[in-house]
Chain A
Amino acid sequence: MEFPADLKYTKNDEWIRADGTVGVTDYAQDQLSDVVFVEIVVSEGDEVAQGDIIATIESVKAAADVYAPAGGKVVAVNEALADTPEAVNEDPYGKAWLIKLEIADPAELDGLMDAEAYEAYCKEREE
C-alpha cells in the first residue's frame, strides 16, 4: 500500500497536495474494492469549507462520501472519472484526483496527518 510523502491525509481517507489537488487514498480504494461510480457534487467556482461533501464514490460493497480536506475555491473538477471510475482503484494518487482547490487557509493543512502518521492510522484500523 502506498503513502506518498508529499501529501497530507484526513481521518476519512482523503489526501490533499500543497497545490490543492484532492483525492482518496490507496487504503480507501482497497477498503471500497471495485469502484463502479464516482459523482463529484461540487462544480468549478464553488466555495467549499473543510469537511463539506465534495463527492460520492460507490463500489460493489458500499457507497462513501468524500469530504473536502481543506476549505477554498474549486478550480477544477475531474470530469473523466464519471466514465472511468476504475481509475480510483488503479491510480488513486494520479489519474483519480477528484478536484483541485485554491486553498483558502494553508494552516488548515497543518491539522492533517503526514504520510507516516496516516500509515500508522491505517495499520491501527487493520488490527
Chain B
Amino acid sequence: MAMKVREPLISELSAPGRRGVRFPESDVPASPMPKDLLRADLPLPEVSEVDVVRHYTRLSHFNHAVDINFYPLGSCTMKYNPKINEAVSRLPGFAHLHPLQPEETAQGALRLMYELQEALQEITGFAACSLQPAAGAHGELTGVHMIWAYHQDRGDTQRNKILVPDSAHGTNPASSAMSGFWVVEIPSDERGNIDLAALKAECDDTVAGLMLTNPNTLGLFEEHLLEVIETVHAAGGLVYGDGANLNALLGIARPGELGFDVMHLNLHKTFATPHGGGGPGSGPVVCAPHLADFLPGPVVVVKEEATDDLPPLYGFRMPPKSIGRVKSFHGHFGVMVKAFAYIMMLGAGGLRQVAEDAVLNANYLRVRLQDAYHIPYNRICMHEFVAEGRWKDAPDVHALDIAKRLMDFGFHPPTNYFPLIVHEALMIEPTETESKETLDAFAEAMLQIAGEAHTNPEVLHSAPHATPFGRVDEVKAAKELILTWE
C-alpha cells in the first residue's frame, strides 16, 4: 500500500533554470516566433528529467490497475489481457503502416482485418461485418443508423421510435435519440426480464426497432428472448443487440442465430484490449444478410481470388447502400490486431471456456455473498450480478461507503448506483481471469464490510483509510471544479 504522503504538483517541483535537456548552440540562423505569439509569463514547470520520471512514476503508484489487483467493475469486463497481444500489436509491420499507403503494400494488414471480420461473424452467427466504429457506443449509433437506412430504403418511413428496456446499457437511449428516434422505455418484470405485456403494447407500425442488451445490466439472460425478438419482428421492427456483454456468450450462443438483426462488439472488453484506459477501443458491427448492404465502409473483401501461384488480393469496398464512413481511415487497427491474436490463440474451445469461467466466477461470488447482501433478482446469473448495498438495520450505510471501504483491501470497487432499477446497486463482474483464491479474498472482504456496516459503520463512512487520498468531497468536486493551477 502506498504511503500517505502528498505528491506535489509538477508546477510545485519547478526551480528556475532547471532543465531536462540542454540543446546545442544553434548553427543555423534563428527564425523568431511572431511577437504576438510570445508570452513571457507562461507558467511552465522547470524540472529535470529525473524530477519528471519520479513524479509520474509515483503518481502511477496511486492508480489501481488490473495489473495490480482484482477489478470487478461491473459492465466493464476488466479482465486481465495477456501481454503477448500488446507485443503483437507493436510489431513494426503492423505499427508502422500508414493508412494511406496503397492496398497492394498492406496485404498482411488487410488479410488480418478480413480474417477478423470472418472470425467475428463466426463467433456471433452473423453474415457481414464492418470494423469501422471506434468503440461501443459508436457501434450502437452505427447500428441504429443502419436500422433507419433499412426502413427508409423499403419506403417504410413512419417508423420513428426505438424501444429500450430499463435494464439496457445507458448508451442505448442516447444512441437512439442521436439517430433521430423517439425513445420508449420498457420496464422489467419481477424476474428481471422485459415486461412482455408492456413490450407488446408498444409494438405497432411506428416501431423501428428494439435495442436489447443480453445478458442485461442485471447480468441476467433474457428468459423470453425468442418471444421478445419475434414480437418486434412481427410488428416490422428490427432488433439491435448490444454486444457489450458478449463475454458471457462466447462459444455458447450465437446472437445471429437467436434472431438479432444487428449488433456491435466491444473488442476492447471481450477481446483483449484493456477497457477504461481512455482508449482507443473498437466497436465492430455485425449484421444479418438483409442489413449487409447498409454497413458503414469501406469493409475488407477479397478482390481477386487466390491462384496456384498467388495468394488472394485483399482490398477495400464500400457496401452498395452503405450509410457511409463512420470513422476516418480504417478504425482502430492496433485494437484489431490484439483481438485477432487473442481469438487465434484461444480458438473455439478457449473462447467457450472464457464464457464458462466468467459465468462460473460470477455465480460463485453471488452465492458466497447472498446471505450477507440482498440480491434483488437472485437467480443463476451470467457474467455479472447486482447486489444491494443497504440494510434496514444499518440505514446510514450506502453503496458508496462499501465501495470506498473495499479500496482498503486493495480491490477496485464494483460499479455502483447502476443499473438504476436496483437501490444502492453494487454491480460485480469478476471476469474469467480470476482464480478462486482471488475470488475468496474479495468475498471475505465483502463479508467483513457487511459485518462492519452493522457493528462499526463509522469505519465505512470515513473510508478509504489505506489509500494515498482519503474520502474525496464529490459534491464539491462537481460544483467547484478547478482545472488550472494558480
Contacts and interface: CB of A to CB of B under 8 A. Distances in A.
B475 interface: yes
B420 A62 contact: yes
A93 to B, nearest CB: 22
Interface string A28-45: 000101101100000000
Contact of A34 (B417, B418, B423, B475): B475
A60 B420 contact: no
B54 interface: no
Contact of B478 (A31, A60, A62, A126): A60
Interface string A8-30: 00000000000000000000000
Main secondary structure of the interface of A (DSSP, over half): loop
B98 interface: no
A21 B252 CA distance: 55
Contacts of A36: 475, 478-479
A85 interface: yes
A86 B476 CA distance: 11
Contact of A37 (B400, B417, B423, B478): B478
Interface string B410-423: 00000001101001
A95 interface: no
Interface in A82-104: 85-86
Q: How large is the interface on A (under 10, 10 to 19, 20 to 34, 35 or more residues)?
A: 10 to 19
A31 B425 CA distance: 12
Contacts of B474: 34, 60
Contacts of B423: 31, 126
Contacts of B417: 61-62
A126 B475 CA distance: 25
A37 B479 CA distance: 8
A85 B423 CA distance: 23
Contacts of A58: 478
Contacts of A33: 398
Interface in B459-486: 474-475, 478-479
A61 B475 CA distance: 10
A115 to B, nearest CB: 22
Interface residues of B, number: 10
Interface in B437-463: none
Interface in A40-74: 58, 60-62
A31 B474 CA distance: 16
B167 to A, nearest CB: 15
Interface string A103-115: 0000000000000
Contacts of A31: 423
A99 to B, nearest CB: 22
A85 B418 CA distance: 23
Nearest to A60: B474
Nearest to A125: B423
B202 to A, nearest CB: 15
Contacts of B400: 61
Contacts of B475: 34, 36, 60, 86
Interface in B383-425: 398, 400, 417-418, 420, 423
A60 B398 CA distance: 13
Contacts of B398: 33
Contacts of B479: 36-37, 85
A126 B398 CA distance: 14
Interface string B358-402: 000000000000000000000000000000000000000010100
Interface string B161-198: 00000000000000000000000000000000000000
Nearest to A37: B478
Q: Which of A58, A61, A62, A126 has the most CB of B within 10 A?
A: A61
A63 to B, nearest CB: 10
B465 to A, nearest CB: 21
A37 B423 CA distance: 22
A34 B418 CA distance: 16
Contacts of B478: 36-37, 58, 60
Contacts of A61: 400, 417
A26 to B, nearest CB: 16
Interface of A: 31, 33-34, 36-37, 58, 60-62, 85-86, 126
7 contacts: A34-B474, A34-B475, A36-B479, A37-B478, A37-B479, A58-B478, A85-B479
Given A34-B475, A62-B418, 10 more contacts: A33-B398, A36-B479, A37-B478, A60-B474, A60-B475, A60-B478, A62-B417, A85-B479, A86-B475, A126-B423
The 3 A-B pairs at the shortest CB distance, nearest first, are namely: A36-B478, A60-B474, A61-B417
